[in-house]
Structure 1
Amino acid sequence: MRFLRKSLTGLFLFALTLGLLAWAGLMVRDAVQARMNEEPRRRPAQERVFSVNTVTVETGSVVPILSVFGEVQSSRTLELRAASSGALIDLAPEFVEGGRVTDSQLLARIDPVEAQAALDRAESDLMDAQAEGREAGRAIGIARDELVAAEDQVRLREQALQRAKDLLVRRVGSEATVETAELALSSARQAVLNQRQAVATAEARIDQAKTAQRRAEIARDEAARRLADTEIRAAFSGTLTGVSVVAGRLVSQNEQLAQLVDPDALEVAFRVSTSQYARLIGPEGLRPAKVAVKMDGYGTALQATGQLSRESASVGEGQTGRLLFATLGAAHGFKPGDFVTVEIEEPALDRVARLPATALGADNTVLALDEDQRLEVVAVTLERRQGDTVLVRAPGLRGREVVAERTPLLGAGIKVAPIRAEGAKARGQEPAPDMVALSEERRARLVAFVEGNNRMPPEAKTRVLAQLQQDMVPAEVVARIEQRMGG
């Protein structure tokens, strides 16, 4: 009985479980069917609003800045060459790389022994020529006196001949006496001719003596010039570069010893395109526009100002555009060969607006906001590109807001939410530089590198060292120094 009772109880529980499972399955089926038969609930459609950075269009007179790259060079560069050959002596202490010299300063001397001997020989030859001239002068005086005496003899012979003829007419003398007088007169006349020849020879001797003296003077001057060429002097005040000699070295004629550069006569040469060149010329040619030269390095910048001075006469083979030159004023820290950024002021543009470059589309349009904060496509005229900004002419946009950063999602009719707090950033203003804290070991390594850099200008080195001593140092300065360290 007990077995039967337990078997029936188990069968009952099993049947009850099957019933519950079947009832649960029916409930799930009914719920699914009811869900499928219900009409879907629709949410009301909402317009999507985009947040955009905006800037306000302000028009006025703007001076465009043309930015190009150029090279600093000196307008006065002189090659110092040896005018004669020999050994270098008396080398000046300033005759070194970077030495500062003054006008007419003696820099070096080539051994003048041979040149001095040649000058002494030339002076001796000149003294001989002068003595020959004096002797020729005395000789012509004697020759002229002898000519006068010979002419007196002719007059006396003529008188004797005349007396002999008179005696012959009075039948006192003889014909032999007359012939003898005639022969004597002929001999006297021949003597006169001989003396005239002597005078002419003496005069020619004087001319030859003058010519010889002149040649001796030329030889002496040439020898003196060769002696002067043994001295190498500075033609103007400046700085020496490319020095390749030492005292005692043998140099050959016309060998380059160094270059003399005038550090106060600096100019910058740069090339612009033809369209940029067209904006810099006026009715009378190249405008004397103002020029600013900058050279960045180690977080600092060397700056100088100047003025456009001239342009190259030809384009140059394989070149384009125009090569221009600008004379620099006080350009402390700049050296010939520096690669710099040149900024030239163009003629001012009236009634233009400065906008971020990202606000201008490829079709020269901008997206402006209307009264309902919806975007409107407005066409503008592009005048200049200035780095991250553009200068546009848009008469109808003055005072309106335009999108500072266009994206493919923005277009006409789209409603936006302007973010005016970012307007200053969108206009291209520079954010504050990132600052970093340096460990003592890293700071010491950077300071040692800067102090040992001899190519760095003293002014820039002082500023960088002052920045490295601060608790927070600009990250850009640290990155540039470590880049040059090879780290």
Structure 2
Amino acid sequence: MRFLRRSLMGVFLLAVTIAIVAIAANTVRTAVVARMNEEPRSFPQRERVLAVNVVTLTPQSLTPELTVFGELRSRRSLDLRSATGGTVLEASADLIEGGSVNEGQLLLRIDPAEAQAALDRVRADLQDAEAELRDAQRSLGLEADELTAAQAQADLRDQALTRARDLADRGVGTAAAVETAELAASSAQAAVLTRRQALASAEARIDQANTRLARARINVSEAERNVADTEVFAAFDGTIADVTVSPGGRVTSNERFAQLVDPTQLEVAFRVSTSQYARLLDGSGSLINAPIRVALDVSGVNLSAKGQITREGATVGDGQTGRLLFASLDAAPGFRPGDFVTVSIDEPMLDGVALVPATAVAADETVLVVGAEDRLEAAQVTLQRRQGDDVIIGIDGLAGATIVAERSPLLGAGIKVRPIVPGEAAEPDVPEMVTLDPDRRAKLVSFVTESRMPDEVKARIIGQLEQDEVPSETIARLESRMGS
């Protein structure tokens, strides 16, 4: 009996266990079927809208500004050199680095002893030449007198020959007397010829004396100039630089001992590319006198001056490119030759263009235009100039259009945006509101109440849920945590 009772109890427990398992399996199956038969929840999909800064393309006339770097030079500078060599006896107190001198001021005096001795020698030679000329002139006078006397003697001999021939014709004279008279006349003519040759020699001596005198005067002039060159004077008002001499030192002939620079006659030399140079030409191909501005930032103090382009370099130069241009400056206080400055050049004016940020134009020269329904469209533009962080573009057909000022990889054609005009306050995003049915509202309130949120957060969220319309973002966030 005991065995039977225990067997029946085991069978009963097994039947109860199988029944409980069957009920549990049926419950799970029913739940799965109900879940699968439910309609899936769908949340309203919201298109992503990006906020972008925009600018409006307004046609206008702009003057492009070309910025390059250049070096200041003085249009009037002079190397101070000693024309003669010698010991420096005296130097001006202003003959120092940076010294200011006036036109005609004595800068340097060299010992004139050697030059003065040379001058005295050539002056003595000049006196000899003058004495030689006077002696030649006296000799010329004597030779002329002797020629006159010889001519008179020849005339007398001719007269004697005539008388001898008359006597011979009348039979009074003899043939021997006639021959003697003829020989005497011939000798007198020979004497006249000799005196003429002597007179010509005297005249040639005078010419030689005059030439010698001219040479002597030239030598005296050169010697006087050498004496004068022992003193060096300032050719114009300016500033002294690169001084290499002092009193007591010795200089050689043609040695450069300093440089005189006029700091008021400044110009700037700068190099531009060939394309930039082409933009500075007029219709005839000549360089225009474009206005420029020169700036130099010295310890936070910005020095500036104005001027205009005057000329261009004749050659490009070995190993160089582009063109070397020169521009004269107006009043330029504070600038000095050798300063490295920034040069801004005003190019010819461009019409029908717009100035936009460089970030608005892509590498392929396209912009994103805000079209209908605030959707982006790609449009082609012409890049004219780059101006620092901005660019000048041609806007043919895009006048009045609104474009994106700052492009990013997230932006492209067809994307909807929310334009933000610079200077205007951005409108806050308006959240999408949803009206809840009572059951859904009760489930959400129950979830919030039973959650582990802080009390102040619970109060705030429940306050939102009790409103007629609730932000969709709040609903989606809570239901994602509920898991159903």
Which TM class, normalised by the smaller chain length? 0.7 to 0.9
Cα shift at 1:98: 1.3
Query: How far, CA to CA, are the matches of 2:232 and 2:186 in structure 1?
Result: 71
8 Å contact from structure 1 (residues 88, 109) kept in 2: yes
Cα shift at 1:176: 4.6
Cα shift at 1:297: 2.5
CA shift digits 1:15-55 (9 cap, x unpaired): xxxxxxxxxxx9xx99xx88x95877543222222222222
Query: How far, CA to CA, are the matches of 1:156 and 1:394 in structure 2?
Result: 118
8 Å contact from structure 1 (residues 369, 400) kept in 2: yes
Partner residue in 2 for 1:247: 247
Cα shift at 1:422: 5.0
Partner residue in 2 for 1:311: 312
Cα shift at 1:174: 4.5
Query: How far, CA to CA, are the matches of 1:228 and 1:283 in structure 2?
Result: 54
Are 1:56 and 2:62 counterparts? no
CA 1:259–1:423: 2 relative to 1, 3 Å: farther
Partner residue in 1 for 2:398: 397
Partner residue in 1 for 2:365: 364
Q: Which amino acid aligns with 1:403?
A: V
CA shift digits 1:96-137 (9 cap, x unpaired): 111222223321122111111211221221122112111211
Cα shift at 1:186: 3.2
Partner residue in 2 for 1:275: 275
Query: How far, CA to CA, are the matches of 1:220 and 1:73 in structure 2?
Result: 41
Cα shift at 1:290: 0.9
8 Å contact from structure 1 (residues 59, 354) kept in 2: no
Query: How far, CA to CA, are the matches of 2:214 and 2:82 in structure 1?
Result: 29
Partner residue in 2 for 1:336: 337
8 Å contact from structure 1 (residues 154, 188) kept in 2: yes
SS in 1 for 2:118: helix
Cα shift at 1:387: 0.7
Q: After the TM superposition, which of the residue ranges 344-353 and 115-124 deviates more from structure 2? A: 115-124
Query: How far, CA to CA, are the matches of 2:147 and 2:190 in structure 1?
Result: 11
Partner residue in 2 for 1:388: 389
Partner residue in 2 for 1:95: 95
Query: How far, CA to CA, are the matches of 1:83 and 1:173 in structure 2?
Result: 84
Partner residue in 2 for 1:43: 43
8 Å contact from structure 1 (residues 53, 423) kept in 2: no
Q: After the TM superposition, which of the residue ranges 117-126 and 186-195 deviates more from structure 2? A: 186-195
Are 1:296 and 2:324 counterparts? no
SS in 2 for 1:139: helix
SS in 1 for 2:383: strand
Q: Which amino acid aligns with 2:158?
A: E
Cα shift at 1:201: 1.8
Q: After the TM superposition, which of the residue ranges 211-220 and 76-85 deviates more from structure 2? A: 76-85
Query: How far, CA to CA, are the matches of 1:287 and 1:294 in structure 2?
Result: 21
8 Å contact from structure 1 (residues 380, 392) kept in 2: yes
Cα shift at 1:178: 3.8
8 Å contact from structure 1 (residues 55, 423) kept in 2: no
Q: How many corresponding residue pairs?
A: 395
SS in 2 for 1:395: coil
Partner residue in 1 for 2:348: 347
Q: How does 1:322-471 map to 2 (within 5 A)?
A: 322-421=323-422
- Could you tell me which runs of 5 or more consecutive residues in structure 2 were left unpaired when the two chains were aligned: 1-23, 426-484
CA shift digits 1:419-461 (9 cap, x unpaired): 334589xxxxxxxxxxxxxxxxxxxxxxxxxxxxxxxxxxxxx
Query: How far, CA to CA, are the matches of 1:197 and 1:421 in structure 2?
Result: 112
Partner residue in 2 for 1:119: 119
Cα shift at 1:170: 4.2
Partner residue in 2 for 1:135: 135
RMSD over aligned CA atoms reads: 2.5
Q: After the TM superposition, which of the residue ranges 164-173 and 93-102 deviates more from structure 2? A: 164-173
Cα shift at 1:341: 1.1
Are 1:209 and 2:209 counterparts? yes
CA 1:423–1:287: 2 relative to 1, 3 Å: farther
SS in 2 for 1:397: coil
Identity of matched residues, %: 57
CA 1:423–1:209: 2 relative to 1, 3 Å: farther
Query: How far, CA to CA, are the matches of 2:406 and 2:97 in structure 1?
Result: 53
Query: How far, CA to CA, are the matches of 2:413 and 2:67 in structure 1?
Result: 35
SS in 2 for 1:376: strand
SS in 1 for 2:413: coil
Query: How far, CA to CA, are the matches of 1:80 and 1:138 in structure 2?
Result: 50
SS in 1 for 2:271: strand
Q: Which amino acid aligns with 1:415?
A: K
Cα shift at 1:258: 1.2
Structure 1 stretches (4+) deviating beyond 6 angstroms?
A: none
8 Å contact from structure 1 (residues 53, 422) kept in 2: no
Partner residue in 2 for 1:158: 158
SS in 2 for 1:227: helix
Q: How does 1:462-481 map to 2 (within 5 A)?
A: none
CA shift digits 1:192-235 (9 cap, x unpaired): 22222221221121111111111111111111222222222222
Q: TM-score, normalised by structure 1?
A: 0.76
CA shift digits 1:302-338 (9 cap, x unpaired): 1111111111122222221111111111122111111
Query: How far, CA to CA, are the matches of 1:219 and 1:251 in structure 2?
Result: 24
Query: How far, CA to CA, are the matches of 2:293 and 2:424 in structure 1?
Result: 28
CA shift digits 1:36-92 (9 cap, x unpaired): 958775432222222222222222100111111111112222211121111112211
Query: How far, CA to CA, are the matches of 2:209 and 2:147 in structure 1?
Result: 22
8 Å contact from structure 1 (residues 83, 253) kept in 2: yes
SS in 1 for 2:91: coil
Are 1:192 and 2:205 counterparts? no
Query: How far, CA to CA, are the matches of 2:423 and 2:410 in structure 1?
Result: 20
Partner residue in 2 for 1:446: none
Query: How far, CA to CA, are the matches of 2:383 and 2:175 in structure 1?
Result: 129
CA shift digits 1:453-487 (9 cap, x unpaired): xxxxxxxxxxxxxxxxxxxxxxxxxxxxxxxxxxx
Larger radius of gyration: 2
CA shift digits 1:373-417 (9 cap, x unpaired): 332222211111111001111234333332221111112222223
SS in 2 for 1:294: strand
Query: How far, CA to CA, are the matches of 1:411 and 1:230 in structure 2?
Result: 82
Cα shift at 1:172: 4.1
Q: Which amino acid aligns with 1:202?
A: A
SS in 2 for 1:78: strand
Q: How does 1:147-186 map to 2 (within 5 A)?
A: 147-186=147-186
Query: How far, CA to CA, are the matches of 1:396 and 1:153 in structure 2?
Result: 119
Q: Which amino acid aligns with 1:67?
A: T
